[in-house]
């Protein structure tokens, strides 16, 4: 698949980091540190491809959204040691809300004929989100609104080796159509599967898994 398929798309990155992984004694803490260079490289490529800036979300409660943003904002989020002190529930990974908003923004512009030809959403997480069933339903709903498989790609990157999280992501990756989706728009990987030299291939895989 040609790399120019990545052009004229909205790029969104969702950081869904659990509170436990912010403890320097936790094994996932080191994985987040080690993953930063690859994630920043990924964001740089997304920023290069997205003419009006990437959108970055923190999947916390409350959710934080940074529209028309850049790599510097992502780096700041990745390096932050604590969740926002105003967070009502800092331990909960609130993935449903940013996914809902990202899809809503895309389809709203598409309906008004003001949007781009497609979207790529990358969610980085280390724990299974709260209300996982709702997350799956949101993705299925979006998959049923698009006109072709490669219009939207949702790629999950797992930090750490939490088994329930891996099972949740594997189910999304392999059984989305069995859950009622018209198209399979999900791809999942561990962060160390993303080589810094092959960010373009990773993004193409998000669109055409």
Which residues form the domain of 68? 3-207
Tell me the pLDDT tens digit for each residue of 160-198: 999 999 999 999 999 999 999 999 999 999 988 886 668
**Domain of 144: which CATH number?**
3.40.50
- The structure's pTM equals 0.92
**Phi, psi at 103, each rounded to 5°:** -65, -40
Condensed to tens digits (0 to 9), the pLDDT of residues 4-13 reads 889 999 999 9
Say what the pLDDT of residue 32 is. 93
Total domains in the chain come to: 1
Q: CA distances (Å), 35 to each of 44, 139, 196, in order? A: 14, 25, 10
Nearest to 10 by CA among 62, 59, 46, 61: 46
DSSP for 29-49 reads: HHHHHHHHHHHHHHHHHHHHH
| Per-residue confidence band for 205, with pLDDT thresholds at 50, 70 and 90 | confident
Q: Provide the b/e sequence for 100-130 (b: ≥16 CB within 10 Å).
A: bbbbebbbeebeeeebbebbbbbbbbbbbbb
User: For the residues 52-78, what does the mean pLDDT come to?
Assistant: 92
């Amino acid at each position: 698949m040609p790399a120019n398929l990545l052009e004229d798309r909205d790029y969104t990155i969702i950081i869904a980091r659990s509170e436990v992984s912010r403890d320097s004694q936790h094994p996932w803490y080191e994985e987040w540190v080690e993953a930063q260079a690859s994630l920043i490289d990924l964001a740089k490529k997304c920023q290069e491809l997205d003419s009006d800036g990437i959108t970055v979300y923190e999947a916390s409660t409350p959710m934080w959204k940074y529209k028309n943003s850049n790599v510097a904002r992502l780096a700041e989020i990745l390096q932050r040691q604590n969740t926002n002190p105003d967070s009502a529930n800092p331990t909960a990974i609130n993935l449903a809300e940013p996914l809902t908003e990202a899809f809503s923004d895309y389809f709203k512009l598409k309906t008004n004929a003001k949007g781009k030809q497609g979207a790529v959403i990358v969610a980085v997480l280390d724990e299974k989100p709260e209300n996982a069933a709702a997350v799956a339903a949101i993705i299925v709903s979006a998959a049923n609104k698009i006109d072709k498989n490669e219009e939207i790609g949702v790629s999950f990157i797992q930090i750490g080796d939490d088994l329930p999280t891996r099972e949740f992501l594997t189910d999304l990756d392999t059984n989305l159509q069995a859950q009622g989706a018209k198209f399979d728009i999900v791809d999942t990987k561990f962060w160390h599967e993303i080589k810094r030299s092959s960010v373009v291939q990773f993004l193409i895989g998000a669109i055409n898994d």
